[in-house]
């Protein structure tokens, strides 16, 4: 068998719903896994992305760790596939962009109901929170964008199976839905 393609995937500020949709490819996922090797992914326990053929990202960019991860993925992956509304326009996390970061932190850690020992977390081991939530394409080049909340499993399959086969993905237009 020919060289196996290496795939990495992760979620930034997201809910892993796009990964769930990937799993909705059902038995086809087995077919896919036979042809690829996994790097960093919630499906295995590799923590750092290494040189990859395909990187898959879901979720928006909301803190400095997200920035580091997305930049690593971009640097390490030949092709970057970006899944879902959060990654592509901020999605649900971007609802906080309606407020200043100070307002968000104040409500979450100081004024919110039922809080004790109110303080805004700050520690060198904690990522710094960005002034607003950013979509992925405002930081790195995106090769393939699959919108949706989540993207339809069939669309993810169309994209990944084509890439694995070394072809240019062609997405069926009826699968393009933003929610």
Partner 1 sequence: MSPEQAQTIFEDTRQRFAGAADDTRLLQYLVDIQHRYHFIPPPAIEALQQILHLTRAQIESVIDFYSFLHSDQAIRYRILFSNNITDRWAGSAAMMQRLTVALHGCEDAGIALTACSGLCDQGPSMLINGRAIGRLTPSRIDDIAALILSGVELEDWPESLFMIDNVIQRSDRQLALSCQPAAALRRAIELGPDLILQTLNESGLRGRGGAGFATATKWSLCRQASADQRFIVCNADEGEPGTFKDRLLLAQYADSVIEGMTIAALTVSARRGFIYLRGEYRFLLEPLQADLQRRREQGLLGSAILGQAGFDFDIEIHLGAGAYICGEESALIESLEGKRGIPRIRPPFPVTHGYLGQPTIVNNVETLFSVERILQKGAKWFSEIGTEQSRSSRLISISGDCEEPGVYEYPFGVSLRQIVQDCGGSDAQAVQMAGAAGTTVLARDFDRCLSFEDLATGGSFMVIGKQRSLLDMLQNFAWFFRHESCGFCTPCRIGNHLLPELLQRFAEAQATGHDLRQLKDIAETMHRSSFCGLGSSAPTALSDALEQSPEIFTAGMASSSDNPAFDLSAATREYRTITETESW
Partner 2 sequence: MASFSIDQQPIEFEPGQTILQAAMAAGVYIPHLCFHPQFSAHGSCRVCMVRIDGRTASACTAPAAAGLEVENLSDDLQALRRDILQMLFVEGNHLCPSCEQSGACHLQSVAEFCELLMADLPFQYPRRMVDASHPDWVLDFTRCIHCELCVKASREVDGKSVFSLTGRGFDTRLVINAPDGLLVNSEFASTDRAASVCPVGVFLPKHQGFKTPIGQRKYDRHSIEQITEE
Give me the residues that bind partner 1 (CB under 8 A), please: 64, 67, 74, 100-102, 105, 119-120, 122, 128-132, 134, 137-141
- Per-position x/- string for 90-129, each x denoting binding to partner 2 as judged by CB under 8 A, each - no binding: xxx-xx-xxx------------------------------
Per-residue DSSP letter, 126: S
Of 4-63, binders to partner 2 (CB under 8 A) are none
Q: Which of 52, 135, 152, 160 binds partner 2 (CB under 8 A)?
A: 135
Q: Is 83 in the site for partner 2 (CB under 8 A)?
A: no
The distance of closest approach from Cβ of residue 105 to partner 2 in the complex, given in angstroms and rounded to an integer, is 16
From the list 146, 153, 160, 163, which residue makes contact with partner 2 (rule: CB under 8 A)?
146
Q: The tokens 């339809």 sit on which residue? A: 152
Report, in Å, the least distance between residue 164 CB and partner 2.
20
The residue range among 31-39, 44-52, 108-116, 145-153 that interacts with partner 2, by the rule CB under 8 A, is 145-153
Chain centroid, CA 49 distance in Å: 14
Evaluate whether 34 touches 44 at the Cβ level (below 8 Å). Answer: no
The interface partner of residue 119, options being partner 2, partner 1, none and the CB cut-off 5 to 8 Å by kind, is partner 1
State how far the Cα of 63 lies from the Cα of 53, in Å rounded to an integer: 26
* Residue 99 near which of partner 2, partner 1, none (CB within 5-8 Å, type-dependent): partner 2
- Inter-helix orientation angle 28-35/153-164, to 10°: 30
Which residues neighbour 161 within 8 Å (Cβ) at sequence distance 6 or greater?
28, 32
> 38-48: buried (b, 16+ CB within 10 Å) or exposed (e) per residue?
bbbeeeeeeee
**Residue 38: contacted member of partner 2, partner 1, none (CB under 5 to 8 Å, by partner type):** none
- List beta partners, residue 80: 55
């Amino acid at each position: 068998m020919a060289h196996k393609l290496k795939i990495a995937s992760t979620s930034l500020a997201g809910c892993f719903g796009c990964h769930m949709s990937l799993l909705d490819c059902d038995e086809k996922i087995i077919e896919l896994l036979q042809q690829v090797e996994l790097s960093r992914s919630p499906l295995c326990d590799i923590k750092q992305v290494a040189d990859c053929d395909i990187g898959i990202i879901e979720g928006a960019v909301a803190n400095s760790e997200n920035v580091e991860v997305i930049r690593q993925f971009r640097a390490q992956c030949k092709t970057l596939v970006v899944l879902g509304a959060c990654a592509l326009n901020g999605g649900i996390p971007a609802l906080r962009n309606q407020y200043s970061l100070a307002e968000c932190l104040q409500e979450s850690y100081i004024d919110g109901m039922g809080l004790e020992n109110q303080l805004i977390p700050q520690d060198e081991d904690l990522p710094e929170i960005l002034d607003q939530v950013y979509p992925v394409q405002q930081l790195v080049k995106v090769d393939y964008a699959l919108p949706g909340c989540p993207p339809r499993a069939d669309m993810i399959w169309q994209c990944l199976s084509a890439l694995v086969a070394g072809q240019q993905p062609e997405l069926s237009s009826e699968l393009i839905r933003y929610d």
